[in-house]
A and B are shown apart, each in its own frame.
Chain A
């Protein structure tokens, strides 16, 4: 039986990709790897050097081709069906690749495309069932906690333990690669994470930690790590995230999901979107419920005079006020920001009080001014749509 017939025989018998690449290595004496379109290893005959789930240490030429990596020659063959690239069959050998490998690559590639498509169909079905389960979890579609826990066990998740939830959204960058990469990156750090990709969003659910504040720190760590790693692969991408409240029971995860979405939406309105915790939203949570007209009215009544004064006199008192709150009233820090003497800032703050006819040192006034600044930002964002 020649190598191609042997390969076909294995596919008919239902062998997985790992079995197929190992068979090829035995036949041709070269390392064979199946990678997805972004270079992630799906199967490799040399598991020690190229473990499944890792990324190839060399860049795959678009549309396939030859290259050299650490003195070894590799050949990447695109597994293409029509215009869709399903991945690459990569072969790697010391020195020049044997002619027998190169000659048969076209036919071997077609057989692998078939095997890959079959495996992807199985994975897609599994993903769909998993997504349905997570959807039910996020939309309160279980009759009881027992039913929820039992279904979770089928997927290897212990939903008896409390879990925390975060929604991450890609604000700028390619959505398809984000979905592919972000999930794999989170699972690398958190193998127990439950993930649900939703268009440009990724819902991340992790088991809560017992130590106070540890879950929030873990969430922040995942978000920062994701941002750092993704920016290497997707330059110019921007992320925003929202975290819901932490509940002791997984039956309340649906509440956490709704809260995380609200935190995310509010975070997107901020100047520097990052990870926003629903628990830390404060007054923004109330402002968000108001209509743009109500927000604009409140802003104008509270800070309209200052805005007019700045426009008529070419001053920037509004910015001074914004920075005053941003730096928690720390005159030294604000002074460094504006390259001014702290006393000049004190004078400017006094002037703001005179223009608005309020006592800027009163806490009640400061609450009003901060709320008005936030209301103005929200109103402008909403009116831009």
Chain B
């Protein structure tokens, strides 16, 4: 089965947070809620910016722990959340190793990245991908389970991908376009 995945090339990310803003603009999320966040981390003595949102895992924990059956997975692998079923228990918020679902105190429900599925259905890339000026963030369609291969360049500061098998692929470039390098 097909699985859509985000594709990150950390060497290209300059931490401009355009992806974060584009996501906020697209989904009009509440003031303190960001479905996509740019984090800083250190791996092999180098500092990186990593843009993270929901990883639409192959074994999503949010999906497993939700008592209201508010999560489902489309045939293209995108994990979606049904707000009308959500009771705001935050089980998914606690279970996700990547803290992708966020609790909105105004609506009293959880919410998370939906891979801009409406844009996808129109043949457009997700807003965050379209907004990335350096090509650090992209999407890729896995046609089959690639096993451990996509996690070869997995940064040590992120949670272990073994349990949930996130749909997030890292490509580490030895001689990439280095816009800004810290440290």
Binding site for B on A (CB under 8 A): 131-132, 135-136, 139-141, 198-201, 251, 254-255, 258-259, 261-262, 265, 288-289, 291-292, 382, 385
Contacts and interface: CB of A to CB of B under 8 A. Distances in A.
A262 B59 CA distance: 8
B63 A198 contact: no
Contacts of A292: 160
A135 B77 CA distance: 10
A140 B63 contact: yes
B142 to A, nearest CB: 11
A254 B160 contact: no
A382 B160 contact: yes
B59 A258 contact: yes
Given A288-B163, A292-B160, A141 B59 contact: no
Contact of B71 (A136, A140, A198, A201): A140
A261 B59 contact: yes
Given A258-B59, A291-B160, A382-B160, 19 more contacts: A132-B75, A136-B75, A139-B73, A140-B72, A141-B72, A198-B1, A198-B145, A199-B145, A200-B145, A255-B64, A258-B64, A262-B59, A262-B163, A265-B162, A265-B163, A288-B163, A289-B163, A292-B160, A385-B148
Contacts, number: 46
Contacts of A265: 162-163
B interface residue count range (under 10 / 10 to 19 / 20 to 34 / 35 or more): 10 to 19
Interface of B: 1, 59-60, 63-64, 69, 71-75, 144-145, 148, 151, 159-160, 162-163
Main secondary structure of the interface of A (DSSP, over half): helix
Contacts of B69: 140, 251
Main secondary structure of the interface of B (DSSP, over half): loop
A230 B163 CA distance: 28
B74 A141 contact: yes
A98 B173 CA distance: 66
Contacts of A385: 148, 151
A254 B163 contact: no
Contacts of A199: 144-145
Contacts of B159: 291
Given A198-B145, A261-B59, A382 B162 contact: yes
A255 B72 CA distance: 11
A255 to B, nearest CB: 6
Contacts of B74: 139, 141
Per CB-CB distance, the 6 closest pairs between chain A and chain B, nearest first, are: A139-B73, A258-B64, A140-B72, A199-B145, A199-B144, A141-B72
Nearest to B77: A139
Nearest to B1: A135
B73 A140 contact: yes
Contacts of A141: 72-75
B89 to A, nearest CB: 16
B68 to A, nearest CB: 11
